[in-house]
Amino acid sequence: MNGKIYGYIRVSTKDQNEDRQIIALQEFSPPIHKTYIDKVSGKDFQRPEYQKMLRILKPGDLLVVKSIDRLGRNYKDILEQWRILTKQKNVHIVVLDIPLLDTRRENDLIGTLISDIVLQLLSYVAETERDNIRQRQAEGIAAAKARGVKFGRPRKPVPQEFPAVKHLWTSGKINSREAARRLSVAQDTFLRWAHNEATTPTQT
Is the dihedral angle over the CA atoms 39, 40, 41, 43 positive or is it negative? negative
Q: Please name the residues in contact with 200: beta carbons below 8 A apart, sequence gap of 6 or more.
A: 158
- State CA 86 to chain mean position distance: 26
As a whole number of angstroms, the distance between CA 180 and CA 176 comes to 6
Of 24, 90, 11, 25, whose CA–CA distance to 57 is shortest?
Answer: 90
If one counts every other C-beta atom within 10 angstroms of the C-beta of residue 79, the result is: 16
Catalytic residue among 12, 29, 67, 184, which? 12
Amino acid, single-letter form, for residue 153: R
Q: 37 - beta bridge partners?
A: 9
**Cβ(33)–Cβ(4) below 8 Å:** yes
Task: Note if 41 is an active site residue.
Answer: no
As a whole number of angstroms, the distance between CA 57 and CA 84 comes to 11
How far, CA to CA in Å, does 67 sit from each of 121, 149, 174, 193?
A: 13, 37, 64, 53
Catalytic residue numbers, as ranges? 12
